[in-house]
Amino acid sequence: MEQAPLNEPGLVGREAEGFSRRLVAVTIFVNLLVSVIVGYALLRSHRHHCSLAVITTKNMAAGMEGNLCNILDKINVGLAGVAHEAEEEIAAGGIEQGRLNRYIGGELPLLPELYGIRVTDAMGDIRYGLDPPLGVTTTVADREYFRRLREAPHGEMIMSRLLRGKVYGNWVLVLATRINRPDGSFAGVVLGLFDVSYFEKLLAHLDIGPHGAIGIRDSDLNLVALKPKGIEPGSQIGSDVISEKTREMIRLHPVTATYNTVFARDHQERTVTFRKAANYPFYVFATASPSDYLARWRKEAAIELALLGIFMIATVVAARTLRQGKISEMLRAQASRYGKEMERRNEELNAALSRVRRLEGIISICSYCKKVRTDEQSWEQVEKYITENSDATFSHGMCPACSAEQTRLFHQSLGRFENRSGRGAEGEDGGRGTSKENGEG
């Protein structure tokens, strides 16, 4: 029987190498798939946070613009009342300073946003109000808003650019409306004075994040108020430092726009939304910094990337453990096969050795009949003894020498038989002759 080779060189190595390649391919595929899923989720989350930042800046800008417009509308009503009072007094014969100042004094508590209301004559000199320094005549004839109101045929409300106050030298915004004589000619203006500190107080309660900003600029884009207010020149009241992209966006989208730009004052990128007031020449800018609105996303990304790293390490460890387990299983299976094969071969070898031992040593055989003496002290034919104690069997034939000898003996026996047969025939013939002779006689 043909025996399988006991040693299988390289079989486990080849199987292990093939399994390792498949395992590595599966591990890489799974890790790439999970990485793509995590990356896509992070990308969507990033876009979501950026969208929230856009919505936040839009809402903040729209809310502040609406709030300021409501305040200015209310002040317009108050200033229109002062102008109406002045026009009635002019129609009645002339403005009485005490009466007009009392009226102004009654309006100021209703307009806490203003720090002063003043009235000029047709030449632009401030004549009425509660706070001008005594003995000092101040003119606003050189102000643009005064010239515009003087030339306007109808009473309209005008908001000035950012100005330095002539009385106190502070930064101010002026709301002004025209006063007419009964014939419609120009009689002067009513001024409502904002100190820019009011706007800073208005912005102070807004939550814009640690690195966000919200600001107000006039029609020339001069800074009126800003939160937070830094020490750099671009953060100071009156600064017109803004990025070129912002100027371009205002040119392309005069009413509102949202975009990302690097701030000229600190060279930091932010998401910006600006809105121009509906009826007033100022802009509200609301900005959000990526370092604020992406802070939560960065934490999420760090956690997800950490989990991804743990997952990758776990898959590599698991793959390595699985590979080692598979190789161990292959080795155990091969060892089991080898063990069974060795056991089978040992049994065959032991059986063969056992049979060989039974035919070893001195075999006692009769020198005459050639029978063999067994261990049980019986005598058996040599063929039977060998057949029972080995795998050998016997077939009977005749060697040439024995064949010649037996042939010789056969012919010898045949000759003797023929000789005996011849002598017998002769005796029978002699007897028959005597008898005839005897008969005849």
Which tops the pLDDT comparison, 179 or 211?
A: 179
Mean pLDDT confidence for 165-194: 90
* Structure token digits, residue 424: 């017998």
**pLDDT number for residue 354:** 65
What DSSP state is assigned to residue 263? -
Residue 438 pLDDT level (bands cut at 50, 70, 90): very low
How high is the mean pLDDT of the chain?
84
In DSSP terms, 179 is beta-bridged to: 188
State the pLDDT at residue 190: 95
Q: How many C-beta neighbours within 10 Å does residue 287 have?
A: 25
pLDDT band for position 327 (50/70/90)? Answer: confident
Give me the residue label for tokens 């003797």.
Answer: 416
Closest to 263 (Cα-Cα) out of 208, 211, 220? 211
Give the model's confidence band at 135: pLDDT under 50 very low, under 70 low, under 90 confident, else very high.
low
Task: Examine the pLDDT at 185 and tell me if it is beyond 60.
Answer: yes
Q: What is the mean pLDDT of residues 297-319?
A: 92
- Average confidence (pLDDT) over 197-214: 86
Continuous H helices in 92-175: 97-107, 144-151
Under DSSP, is residue 102 helix (H, G, I), strand (E, B) or coil? helix
Q: What is the DSSP letter of 12?
A: H
Contacts 24+ apart (CB under 8 A), 256-263: 256/61, 258/54, 258/57, 258/58, 263/234, 263/287
pLDDT at 332: 81
- For 19: left if phi > 0, alpha if psi spans -120 to 50, otherwise beta; the answer is alpha
Q: Is the model's pLDDT at 199 over the cut of 60?
A: yes
Distance CA 99, CA 108 (A): 15
Q: Partners of 272 in the beta sheet?
A: 259, 287
Tell whether the torsion through CA atoms of 348, 353, 355 and 356 is positive or negative: positive
pTM over 0.85: no
3-state SS assignment for residue 214? strand
The dihedral built from the CA positions of residue 41, 46, 51 and 56, taken in this order, carries a sign that is positive
At residue 390, the 3 state secondary structure works out as: coil
Residue 12: pLDDT band (50, 70, 90) is low
Strand partners, 258: 273
The domains of the chain, with CATH numbers, are 46-194 (3.30.450.20), 360-390 (no CATH)
pLDDT for the residue numbered 378: 84
Q: What share of the chain is helix, strand, coil (3-state, %, to 5)?
A: 55, 15, 30
Residue 264 pLDDT: 66
- In degrees, rounded to 5, the angle at the alpha carbon of residue 12 between the alpha carbons of residues 7 and 18 is 150
Q: Which two tokens stand for residue 18?
A: 């093939």
For a pLDDT cut of 70, what percent of the chain falls above it?
88
Lowest model confidence (mean pLDDT) among 17-21, 239-243, 317-321 = 17-21
Q: Is the confidence at residue 49, as pLDDT, over 80?
A: yes
Cα–Cα dist 399/203, whole Å: 132
CA neighbor of 235 nearest in space, from 213, 261, 257, 256? 213
Q: Give me the torsion for CA of 88, 102, 137, 223, rounded to 10°.
A: -100
In three-state secondary structure terms, 397 is coil
Per-residue pLDDT, 439? 40
Which range, 2-11, 19-28, 97-106, 233-242, has the best average confidence (pLDDT)? Answer: 97-106
Half-sphere exposure of 247 (CA within 13 A, CB side): 9
pLDDT at residue 225 is higher than 50: yes
Q: How confident is the model at residue 434, as a pLDDT?
A: 44
SS3 assignment for 23-73? HHHHHHHHHHHHHHHHHHHHHHHHHHHHHHHHHHHHHHHHHHHHHHHHHHH
Residues 6+ apart with CB under 8 A from 45: 297, 300, 301
What angle, rounded to 10 degrees, do the helices at 295-358 and 11-91 form?
A: 170
How far apart (Å, rounded) are the C-alpha atoms in residues 178 and 158? 9
Q: Which 3 state secondary structure label does DSSP give 93?
A: coil
Q: Tell me how far apart the alpha carbons of residues 62 and 56 are, in angstroms, rounded to a whole number.
A: 10
208-221 residue pLDDT tens: 888 888 999 999 99
**pLDDT confidence of residue 441:** 36
Q: How far apart are the first and last CA of the chain?
A: 91
Provide the pLDDT for residue 376: 77
Give the tens place of pLDDT for each residue, 67-89.
999 999 999 999 999 999 999 99
User: What is the tens place of the pLDDT at every residue in 345-393?
Assistant: 888 887 776 655 455 667 788 877 878 787 777 888 877 777 777 667 7
